[in-house]
Amino acid sequence: MEVAVLNKQGQATGRTVVLPAEIFGVESPNDHAIYLDIKQYLANQRQGTHKSKERAEIAGSTRKIKKQKGTGGARAGSIKSPTFVGGGRIFGPRPKDYRFKLNKKLKRVARKSALTYKATTNNIIVVEDFTMETPQTKGYLAFLKGLAVEGTKTLLVTADLNKNVYLSGRNLPKTAIVSSQSLNTYDILHTQKLILTEGSIAKIEEILK
């Protein structure tokens, strides 16, 4: 697939770049691999620190609060019983690690499938490599305006971590910036326009080959 290369101002440079068919043109994208990869990504984001106190962890007296029989009501052991206000919770949440493992090969298939969907729907923009001397949100906003994607959910993929570019765009809504090494299936499909720098294409090809 051949895509025109734009400059930082959004103007055509007269050059084109070929997106590797084995990455951006997979014949049969694997939807199930995409599902598993995104499921793992979201699971890994969970802290799993949820916790509520159960009966044994509640501070309170264990004295029997009323006699066993003859009250006309249900028998009760202690004030820490889950049936009373302030008592322990029955089968409450406990800390849990939600992470699970996926094979690297499957994750590569998922990313290739996601990139193929972006390419076939013409939602990939290629720009020449650029940098910023200092972090400047106004400058990054002008960059998005030049590409006519202002207000659209975008993901910029750079060849390597570019600190000034990242700091320039991190505060803008609907905007994300990652390096080619950090690109994942969730980020690819969670954006409307995928913006690739020329240098990132070779890096992505090297990672996913």
Say whether both 189 and 204 belong to one domain: yes
Check residue 209 and give its pLDDT: 84
Question: Do 80 and 170 belong to one domain?
Answer: no
Contact in structure between 56 and 130 (CB atoms under 8 Å): no
Quick one: pLDDT at residue 62? 86
What is the pLDDT at residue 97? 96
Q: Do residues 42 and 61 both lie within one domain?
A: no
**Does residue 156 share a domain with residue 143?**
yes
Q: Report residue 80 as tokens.
A: 């820490």
**pTM score:** 0.84
* Per-residue pLDDT in tens (0 to 9) along the chain, 209 residues: 889 999 989 899 999 999 999 999 999 999 999 999 999 999 999 999 999 999 999 998 889 999 999 999 999 989 999 999 999 999 999 999 999 999 999 999 999 999 999 999 999 999 999 999 999 999 999 999 999 999 899 999 999 988 999 999 999 999 999 999 999 999 999 999 999 999 999 999 999 98
Residue 43 and residue 129 share a domain: yes
- Residue labelled with tokens 């009250």: 71
The reply to whether 33 and 70 lie within a common domain is: no
End-to-end CA distance of the chain: 17
Q: In this structure, are 107 and 174 located in the same domain?
A: yes
Together in a domain, 43 and 56? no
Residue 152 pLDDT: 93
pLDDT of 1 reads: 81
- At residue 96, the pLDDT reads 95
Residue 194 in 3-state DSSP? Answer: strand
In the numeric block, which tokens belong to residue 169?
A: 């765009």
Strand ranges, E, within 67-180: 124-127, 154-158, 175-179
- pLDDT on residue 10: 87
Q: What does the alpha-carbon distance between residue 93 and residue 49 come to, in Å, rounded to a whole number?
A: 9
Looking at the fold, whether 15 and 80 belong to one and the same domain comes out as: no
> Are both 111 and 189 inside the same structural domain?
yes
Would you give the distance in Å from CA 29 to the centre of its chain? 20
Tokens 């969670």 belong to which residue?
190
Q: How far apart are CA 116 and CA 24, in angstroms?
A: 4
Domain termination residue (choose one: 68, 92, 116): 92
Neighbour tally for 110: CB within 10 Å: 28
What does the block give as tokens for 95?
């800390």
The enclosing domain of 147 has a CATH number of: 3.40.1370.10
Angle formed by the axes of helices 31-45 and 104-120, nearest 10°:
110
Residue range of the domain that includes 79: 52-92
Candidates 145, 127, 125; CA nearest to 137 is 145
* Kind of pairing between the strands at 124-127 and 12-18: unpaired
Both 22 and 7 in a single domain? yes
The number of distinct structural domains making up the chain is 2
- 8 and 84 share one domain: no
The reported pLDDT for the residue numbered 31 is 97
